[in-house]
Amino acid sequence: METSTKADKTTQYLQWLNSPAGVHYLDLEHLYLSDHLLDSFGYYMVSVAFHQPEYLDCSPIRARFHHQLGLSPTKTANIIGDEHLPYQTESIDLVVLDHALDYTDNPQQLLREACRCLIPGGKLLIAGFNPFSFWRCWNITRKGFPGSKNMLSVSRLQDWLTLLNMRQLNLHWHLPFPPDHSDETSPVRDTMEQAILRFQPSFSGMYCVLAEKTAYPITPIKQKWRRRLPPLTVGGSQLGGLTRK
């Protein structure tokens, strides 16, 4: 029953991406993630999403690999089985999880795999839906946004990243209200969005977390021993041996 419910949520999300509101959301997401990818560097980049992202071309990294969840593989997309990434440990410079944690069956496993593939100092960019946002109220009243049981709060995501030796670099909030694909712009809506982003950004619908894999070099220090000289003789028995320096 739980697997069927998650599959239904994923299907609703994919259908929503093909709607006018979803297409407009992808355009806005392209702008947000492009800002983070412009400063990326390295040799290899991996993205995991339910759609074919267009923001990959904004990254200066040339070797880009995309894994598409929930769909048949295409020429540039592969399916992930059981949230395992087919890459060697510490071989990727940048991993992008584009709402992959929101709808995958095992978000912890997918996050663990992404951190495993990163090199020390590698970057992890996560885009997710905020479970504590006005979008949820919109979904309850109008049923226009697909929900997900795996929506992770930023605090829980930060805890998981800390356990995986990841250090958060940036946190950005976007879209306090669901995207409006109409051509008409409302000054009241724009003013409210700016106010929420300034005073209560945690109520926004989308967040972007940029984290870095930390490495703590440890050099083993051998204990030095020396022999105590001269040995003592008490009652016919010799006392001596090794002592720490």
pLDDT digits (tens, 9 = 90+) for 122-168: 999 999 888 887 776 666 555 556 666 678 889 999 999 999 999 99
**What do you get for the CA distance between the two ends of the chain, in Å?**
65
Q: Is the pLDDT of residue 118 over 70?
A: yes
- 73 pLDDT band, cuts 50/70/90, is very low
Contact 58, 34 (CB under 8 A): yes
C-alpha–C-alpha distance, residues 176 and 24, integer Å:
15
C-alpha–C-alpha distance, residues 125 and 119, integer Å:
14
Instruction: Decide yes or no: CATH 3.10.290.10 for domain 2-244.
Output: no
Say which DSSP state 244 is in: E
Assign residue 113 a region: left if phi > 0, alpha if psi is -120 to 50, beta otherwise? alpha
The residue extents of the domains of the chain are 2-244
51-55, 78-82, 114-118, 223-227: the lowest-pLDDT one: 78-82
Give kind and range of the element (H or E) at residue 195.
helix 187-199
Contact 53, 77 (CB under 8 A): no
Instruction: Sort strands 118-129 and 44-49 into parallel, antiparallel or unpaired.
Output: unpaired
